[in-house]
Structure 1
Amino acid sequence: MFRLNITKLRYIAKNNGDSSGYAISRRTGIPESSVYRYLNGTAQPDLNSAMRLAEAYDIDLRTVIKRVPVGAVA
């Protein structure tokens, strides 16, 4: 199972001038409500949204996605 590494995403976004969910939404085209759910950890991005995040910040997708053992609470 894979999960969004929220800490890394926030760090990368902030270094690119995006310190809010609104700013991340504007840069990526992902709906603001979805971005806030990702940042709060209540939802995980689908592959399309994960790719949008990676492309918007010019990073390898593996930079913001971490592997979580099956059955582990993350």
Structure 2
Amino acid sequence: MPTHRLRAERLQAAAAARGDHSAYAIARRTGLSQSAISRLRRGIAAPATRTLLILADTYGLRVEDLVVTGTEAAA
């Protein structure tokens, strides 16, 4: 089963473009918890589909832009 993680650098760039430079700012804009954003950005939690949809919609990204699979990371 492939492991998925958030492409934190892509989220950070899109968030920064909207003035959101911290997990707190991202959480406020998206309605997700600050701790969830922090865990995702540090790579210690896998993103849920609902979370990815919220982040993608909020920051004008595709879900595919926000996810890296274990096989991609190994390449």
TM bucket (normalised to shorter chain) is 0.7 to 0.9
Q: Which runs of 5+ in 2 are unaligned?
A: none
Q: Which runs of 4+ in 1 moved over 4 A?
A: none
Query: Residue 40 of structure 2 corresponds to which residue in structure 1?
Result: 38
Structure 1 unmatched ranges of 5 or more: none
2:29 alignment partner in structure 1: 27
2:55 to 53, 56, 61: 53
Number of positions where the alignment pairs a residue of Structure 1 with one of Structure 2: 71
Q: What TM-score does the superposition give when structure 2 sets the normalisation length?
A: 0.83
Question: Between the two proteins, what is the percent identity of the paired residues?
Answer: 32
RMSD, aligned α-carbons: 1.6
Please give the alpha-carbon distance, in whole angstroms, between the structure 1 residues aligned to 2:39 and 2:14. 18
